[in-house]
A and B are shown apart, each in its own frame.
Chain A
Amino acid sequence: MSTLLSVDPVSRIEGHMSVETAVEGGRVSKVRIAGNMYRGMERLLFNRHPVDSARIAQRICGVCHEVHGISSVMALEQIFKVTPPANGQVLRDMILGLHIVTDHLLHFYNLCSPDYIDYAAAAGYSGRDANLKNISDWISSSGTMFVINKTPGDYIRDKEVARRFALHYFEALKIRAEAASGLALIGGKVPFIHALLPGGITTEITTDTLMKYYHVLTKTADFVNNSFIPDVMVLAERYPEYFRIGEAYNTFYAHTSLKSKKGWLFNSGVIVDGQKQPFDYKKVKELLNSSFYNPDGSPNESAKGAYSWIKAPRYNGFPLETGPLARMAVNNDQGFRQFLARFGQSSIRSSVMGRLLARAYESRLLCNYLFERSEEFVIGKSTINHVDLQANVTGEGIGFSLAARGALVHHIKAYNGKVTDYRMIVPSTWNFGPTAGGKHGVAEKSILGTPVRFGGESGSIEVGRVIRSYDPCTACSVH
């Protein structure tokens, strides 16, 4: 006898997603994850000028806003046959790196931590800390409903821990806003930077700009080191079973990204069957069997056998997991292995806690990288090579880049100044693709076997935790 449980909608993620599970003998025995929103971002770029994609493709997602812009511009630069000057590259990396750190903060504190912490335990404070007093008053005031956590579960109810997390919940929002102003200094505004064009960055960068960027980077790095990493460790110690929950195929995928004088911060590669191999783009195929599309790629909401708007990408037939954990695995990062060893983990394996720890560890890695990278900017040298934004270009370009959630590809074909084909292969598509070709998608696979102790009408919190450990971005995954 199995029980059907669904989480519909999955909240605290980007976009519209639902999960259906069947639970047998206390474990998930069947699963289906559906992406429930479609706009047709690839198809609406058809016939527009290729440069338009630098603006429109960014708007696939307002959470990971800058990553799609950079990937699409990398593809455009191949079509325009232009490369940005060294300064332009530095600025792009400064945007990308800091953005990804802030994305990780949003995920951990604002999206994911309510799965583990009972914030209601932070109420009833009568001490001297004004911030805590305000939070306590706010939580206990009759007017606040979004913090009510009705999903039953084994939350941390310790007052001290809940208060520490409650302070950091808000501090993370503040740090993000400050970091955003650092990005806006270079890019004009965020979300959606417009200073990013094929050829480089248009902004005039002064010492003042760099000083301000350095200031917000320092603040962000302090928060990562003093709050983010210790807080993730609290969860890892309290929930050791989540090193075994949420295991997908242990296949991983990452791209070469973020350059510096020392070389690349992240290497490219694919791990299948425990073997690392070079990434070969030709082996990537998107299957449509379970998705709402016709074979020609046009949308069809009544496609036979379909249950999700997300396509199912496969590498040589394998679903690949991508994200910070995959970057660590492909890099075989020794520092991260040591970090895992603190919790008795001897190897980099796919799990809920592995993904949470990788995100925190990577944030520190990125901050350290950004301090060095930003010093490579040379005041007074050019930041952009001019291109004619109206040129009737013809050609093909592929931008292999990265997002907070994993490896990202924008593939553009243009003829005579018009986009003839636009293809995006996005991290959340890899992670949340449906079952196709006889294989579950990555997240689906990792939900199978999840022990369910707290299943109710709102679905199980355990399944919610597995889903959110990937930091799903549904708008991206469907586009």
Chain B
Amino acid sequence: MLSRRDFIKRCRDISVAVFGAEIFAADIAEGFMKIAASKRPQIAFVQGQSCTGCTVSMTYGNETDFIDFVTRLVRVQVHPNLSFSQGHGYMQLLDSVTSAGGHVLVLEGSIPARMKKACLLGEEPLYNALKKHLEKASAVVACGTCACSGGIPASGRNETGSIDIAQYMRQVGINKPLIKIPGCPIQPDRLMGTVAYIVATGRLPEMKNNIPVKYFGDLIHNNCHRFQYFSQDIYLKDFNTDKHSCLLKKGCRGTITKSDCPTRRWNGGVNVCVESNTPCVGCVNEKWPFKENIYYESRNIEDLPWNDFKKNVLGRGGK
């Protein structure tokens, strides 16, 4: 086993990485020292209408390491893609964790409310089955844009009547602390960091509209490393020849999307969408995937990012 000092150091390293601030690191390290490994709250993972992209993204990690997360920080007890058991044995495990209570329930994907057979959990429609797994949860984490605001399954004609977890909890009359981690897919630090924080401190992080401020506090545009090109009115016209220009006029949604992507970056910090010379599509935005034309330019569409930008950003003093 690790020595006590090594352990605190490790917790600090991890929490510094995931929260980017010493203040949280101390909280997390202290929290983990107080609770024995076997007493840490259990995590039960449930998938709705999902693509497993959030789970895969989590396994890739960024600054947070997935293996550390699973083996040292939390007790991931039930996960559809990882659990060694199958069938009835798997359902029993899920039932035993969620009926004991106190667990953190993580939901990936949305829930079909109208066409209930469009997503089953075991033999039951998820819509009917999910309630009992939520009832004794200490907190609910919506993992990814589908769980947070419906995302792709709820877009277009939404034939299955897909809803997000907040709508679901209202419909079935459950009131639980809810933390939303939007993203299509989630950025791994944001999910694992938040869960680690809740488990270690027993508190919820500072949130606005159920979304942690630490990760989703400011517009991508404001921290964009291409901001200087925007200031100089240098806009990308041709993807082939322009490699260092502002992407706003190609439909970049960095001006309407609050996320720390530009500084946190992805996949070990090697890159981020805008740096690969492609517009931000606003995948953490609650409107994702938007009604039409992801790459609209400055033409004829009412929710144009440029208009939103003028209204929301310049309107409040260009912060």
Binding site for B on A (CB under 8 A): 6-16, 18, 36-41, 43-49, 51-52, 55-56, 59-63, 65, 106, 110-111, 114, 119, 134-135, 137-138, 141-151, 170, 173-174, 176-178, 180-181, 183-195, 197, 199-200, 202-204, 212, 292, 298-299, 301-302, 309, 382-386, 389-390, 457-459, 461, 464, 475
Contacts and interface: CB of A to CB of B under 8 A. Distances in A.
Contacts of A62: 50-57, 185
Interface in B104-134: 112, 115-123
A59 B183 CA distance: 12
Nearest to A292: B117
Contact of B118 (A141, A212, A299): A299
B52 A40 contact: no
Contact of A47 (B117, B162, B292): B292
Given A59-B184, A173-B59, A390-B297, A7 B159 contact: no
Q: Which 10 A-B pairs have the closest CB atoms?
A: A62-B53, A44-B156, A188-B276, A189-B266, A184-B267, A458-B89, A301-B117, A36-B120, A195-B276, A458-B87
Contact of A38 (B56, B119, B294): B119
B157 A187 contact: no
A204 B156 contact: no
Contacts, number: 307
B81 A150 contact: no
Given A137-B1, A191-B56, A389-B250, A170 B67 contact: yes
A390 B40 CA distance: 52
Interface stretch (B221-229, B237-245, B306-314): B237-245
A144 B270 contact: no
Contact of B273 (A119, A194, A204, A302): A194
Interface string B40-72: 101000010111111111011100001100011
A379 to B, nearest CB: 13
A393 to B, nearest CB: 13
Given A38-B119, A49-B293, A119-B84, A145 B271 contact: no
A138 B92 CA distance: 22
Most A Cβ at <10 Å: residue of B40, B52, B119, B266: B52
Contacts of A37: 49, 118-120
Contact of B272 (A10, A148, A189, A389): A189
B115 A38 contact: yes
Given A62-B53, A62-B185, A111 B81 contact: yes
B4 interface: no
A177 B66 contact: yes
Contacts of A194: 273, 276, 278-279, 281
Given A10-B87, A39-B152, A457-B88, 16 more contacts: A38-B160, A39-B49, A40-B156, A45-B156, A55-B281, A110-B82, A145-B77, A146-B79, A170-B67, A176-B59, A181-B270, A183-B267, A191-B60, A301-B117, A458-B90, A459-B86
A9 B87 contact: yes
Nearest to A6: B87
Contacts of A192: 53, 184-185, 283
A292 B112 CA distance: 15
A141 B37 contact: yes
Contact of B159 (A63, A298, A475): A298
A394 to B, nearest CB: 16
A389 B159 contact: no
A48 B272 CA distance: 26
A199 B156 contact: no
26 contacts: A11-B80, A37-B119, A38-B118, A38-B160, A44-B158, A52-B294, A56-B294, A61-B51, A61-B53, A62-B52, A135-B71, A142-B37, A173-B59, A177-B66, A180-B267, A184-B271, A188-B272, A190-B57, A192-B53, A204-B277, A298-B159, A301-B116, A309-B118, A384-B239, A390-B296, A458-B85
A60 to B, nearest CB: 6
A205 B250 CA distance: 21
Nearest to B280: A194
A100 B8 CA distance: 38
A114 B185 CA distance: 27
Contacts of B86: 7, 9-12, 151, 458-459, 461, 464
Contacts of A302: 117
A48 B276 contact: no
B95 interface: no
B155 interface: yes
A197 B278 contact: yes
Nearest to B118: A38
Given A11-B90, A37-B120, A40-B159, A386 B83 contact: no
B268 interface: yes
B122 A8 contact: yes
A226 B188 CA distance: 29
A298 B159 CA distance: 9
A227 B55 CA distance: 24
B234 interface: no
Given A212-B270, A299-B115, A458-B87, A8 B292 contact: no
B319 interface: no
Contacts of B57: 62, 190-191
